[in-house]
């Protein structure tokens, strides 16, 4: 496809990407689509869907389901590729620098998975060096925990250092105070629509009818709080203080050429409900700490697929709601430079990372800024961009 807009062919937000977001130019947040370094005000150019585009979140669009998502994307493509629409569309293209971006989805429920074998093995070796790296259930089901939807925040939101209870190996009793092992987790988040009824379930093959699109997700983690609390029920306060997502949601259709078979799918036979078209996405992430690249994880290394995660999430009859969000879990690869958390990169604090200014990090310090970006292969050698998610650590209150 070609557009009448003057956009470089290799721009990550070209006509093949077209992510949705919620923006404002002073008031009235509404839905726009990014093309190049411009934002198209959709409510002004697509009267048929004006109610959906004028909303302050993507939730009304998510409620319409897959056929409507496909039709809406086709309309946006038509507006930006047919010369006949240039005169009407051009006045409603706003420079990206002039807009304020908002949380794109009113998050209904948030679930985070643990789908990277490399990450799970590394964490097992760090936390449980005398035991098997993976728990016995790990290759039989996608492990996850239910997070806090109300603390999902958009790119650019500062993160206050969490305070809580912790107990180190040498502490005779628990202590209370700010986390001293504050970490990141480089993930993808999957935005869900097409609500289902309580008691029903979604199969692996039906998952694409409910996965609207993809965001980059940073699951901030207080490792000291987490380590003390997580037995026996899993993460709680060590995770629930903030989860950051990118402002742009890239539709699943944009990743047609990025679909790939994940390497672990044939390793261990799974139960029938986890079988089917268990596709993965060839998405490449870059993690920068204070502007310095510290990791480049690849989502194609994951063990469990998003379709399997969604099938497992609903197999007990749990319903889906428009605006549900589920995370992939930390994306890590086989080499040190592909590890998606500081816990792994600094190996539990024993191998500090050296930054260009000569300072070192094992975990985050106040004032540190973490930025994650991503891309996937697209048509004609182009890249499909996923925007970025950034956050700066502020002192505990």
Cβ partners under 8 Å of residue 63, min gap 6: 193, 194, 195, 322
Residue with the two structure tokens 């309580």: 198
DSSP β-ladder status, 110-113 and 144-146: antiparallel
For residue 286, CA distances in Å to 34, 247, 332, 342 come to 21, 17, 11, 13
Cβ partners under 8 Å of residue 340, min gap 6: 116, 119, 184, 185, 186, 187, 285, 287, 295, 297, 330, 331, 332
* 8 A C-beta contact, residue 210 and residue 305: no
Q: What is the CA radius of gyration of the chain?
A: 21
Reported as type and span, the H/E element at residue 225 is: helix 223-229
The one catalytic residue in 119, 210, 284, 312 is 119
Structure-block tokens of residue 270:
């799974």
Residue with the two structure tokens 């261990």: 268
What is the C-alpha to C-alpha distance for residues 175 and 252, in angstroms, rounded to an integer? 45
Structure-block tokens of residue 387:
């925007």
What is the C-alpha to C-alpha distance for residues 315 and 63, in angstroms, rounded to an integer? 21
Residue with the two structure tokens 């973490």: 370
Give yes or no: 210 in active site: no
* 8 A C-beta contact, residue 212 and residue 254: no
Q: Mind telling me the catalytic residues?
A: 119
């Amino acid at each position: 496809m070609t557009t009448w807009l003057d956009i470089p062919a290799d721009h990550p937000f070209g006509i093949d990407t077209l992510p949705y977001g919620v923006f404002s130019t002073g008031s009235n947040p509404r839905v726009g689509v990014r093309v190049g370094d411009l934002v198209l005000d959709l409510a002004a150019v697509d009267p048929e869907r004006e109610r959906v585009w004028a909303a302050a979140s993507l939730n009304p669009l998510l409620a319409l389901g897959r056929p409507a998502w496909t039709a809406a994307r086709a309309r946006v493509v038509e507006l930006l590729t047919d010369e006949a629409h240039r005169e009407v569309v051009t006045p409603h293209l706003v420079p990206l620098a002039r807009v304020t971006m908002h949380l794109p989805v009113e998050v209904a429920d948030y679930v985070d998975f643990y789908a990277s074998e490399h990450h799970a093995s590394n964490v097992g070796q760090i936390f449980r060096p005398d035991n098997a790296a993976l728990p016995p259930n790990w290759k039989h089901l996608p492990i996850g925990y239910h997070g806090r939807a109300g603390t999902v925040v958009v790119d650019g939101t500062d993160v206050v250092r969490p305070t809580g209870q912790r107990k180190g190996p040498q502490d005779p009793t628990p202590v209370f105070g700010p986390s001293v092992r504050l970490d990141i987790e480089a993930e993808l988040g999957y935005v869900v629509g097409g609500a289902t009824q309580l008691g029903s379930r979604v199969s692996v093959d039906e998952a694409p009818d409910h996965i609207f699109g993809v965001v980059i997700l940073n699951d901030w983690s207080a490792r000291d709080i987490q380590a003390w609390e997580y037995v026996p029920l899993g993460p709680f306060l060590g995770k629930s203080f903030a989860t950051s997502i990118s402002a742009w949601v890239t539709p699943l259709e944009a990743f047609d050429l990025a679909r790939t078979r994940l390497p672990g799918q044939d390793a261990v036979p799974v139960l029938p409900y986890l079988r089917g078209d268990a596709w993965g996405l060839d998405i490449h992430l870059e993690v920068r700490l204070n502007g310095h690249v510290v990791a480049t994880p690849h989502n194609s290394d994951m063990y469990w697929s998003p379709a399997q995660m969604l099938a497992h999430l609903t197999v007990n009859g749990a319903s889906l709601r428009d605006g549900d969000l589920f995370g992939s879990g930390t994306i890590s690869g086989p080499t040190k430079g592909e590890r998606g958390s500081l816990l792994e990169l600094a190996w539990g604090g024993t191998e500090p990372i050296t930054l260009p200014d000569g300072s070192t990090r094992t975990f985050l310090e106040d004032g540190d800024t973490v930025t994650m970006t991503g891309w996937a292969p697209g048509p004609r050698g182009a890249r499909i961009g996923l925007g970025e998610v950034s956050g700066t650590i502020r002192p505990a209150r």
